[in-house]
Amino acid sequence: MDSSQLIGITTFTYLFSSLLYVGILVFKAERQVGKAATFFTLAALIIQTIGIGLRWYESYELGIGRAPLTNMYESVVFFAWAIVAFYLFLEWKIKTRVIGAFAIPFAFLAMAYASFSSVNKAITPLLPALQSNWLIAHVVTCFIGYAAFAVAAGLSLMYLVKSTVGDNIRPGSVLDSIPTLKVIDDITYKSMIFGFIWLTAGIITGAIWANSAWGTYWSWDPKETWSLITWFVYAVTLHVRYTRGWSGKRIAWLSLLGFISVLFTYYGVNFLLSGLHSYGSN
């Protein structure tokens, strides 16, 4: 069995986990299938971890020897891995599984894109500019931040859905099983802080890597510019939360705006704007 087969198994397991978490939300079946949802999600994460490690080993077998983080396929796989790892940490921390219905589908969609799109899945040699240990630090820190922002966006959707009915939630209804608006708002805020710290580290490590590869810390490449825009969106969001006391719907909408910026920085720039990071679309 090779890494592609393991990653393929992961894709379908995340789909199954997503259905279980949605079942927990819709049918209020946490007692019946809650442990199964966590088990299959954790099992998929372990299989995916082995798959990523095996792909790293396979690159050495091919005489290339590089970390599996350097093209679109590998980064999407790692993005999904980070989303699930961050979600499982949240589930363990706050002791509720209903959030999984708004988080795990992001991981499944990422894996489905990696598995079924036309992106290049081959293990290819690194470009000279990518041959640096700073690459691993840069990609890992950025995608841990992106994963936290993805979960925050899922939580924001949850908040906006529940807030549409205000205090008129019927006892025993689907929305009644969702945590209170105050709890969702607090978890969203903390997830954004976590993501912001890692994104900041990602931009710093990227600048160091750029200096070693291209002789300059910052060149206003489209990817760098949009990373900075994304950083400012979350910086403003956290600033108004801390200084002006913004919360609720305003923070939820800003969280969604930030995640749209993340998606464009990650995906849109690679395909719509050429620059030093154009290798990322391969």
Residues 2-20: tens digit of each pLDDT:
899 999 999 999 999 999 9
pLDDT per residue over 170-181, tens digit each?
Answer: 777 778 888 899
Comparing 4-18, 52-66, 119-133, which segment has the lowest mean pLDDT?
Answer: 119-133
Task: Report whether pLDDT(265) > 90.
Answer: yes
pLDDT per residue over 180-232, tens digit each?
Answer: 999 999 999 999 999 999 999 999 999 998 888 888 898 888 889 999 999 99
The three-class DSSP label of residue 207 is helix
pLDDT per residue over 105-116, tens digit each?
Answer: 999 999 999 998
pLDDT at 281: 56
pLDDT at 117: 87
pLDDT at 198: 98
The tokens for 199 are 């994104």
Task: Report whether pLDDT(167) > 70.
Answer: no
Task: Report whether pLDDT(239) > 90.
Answer: yes
Q: What is the helix (H) or strand (E) element at residue 274, kind and residue range?
A: none
Task: Report whether pLDDT(129) > 80.
Answer: no
- Mean pLDDT (the chain, rounded): 91
Distance CA 282, CA 262 (A): 19
Q: Amino acid identity, residue 134?
A: W
DSSP label at residue 170: P
Backbone angles phi, psi at 96, to 5 degrees: -145, 140
pLDDT at 104: 97
Distance CA 207, CA 218 (A): 6
Stretch 46-72: mean pLDDT, rounded? 92
Q: Note whether 20 and 67 are within 8 A (CB).
A: no
Distance CA 205, CA 203 (A): 6
Stretch 249-263: mean pLDDT, rounded? 97
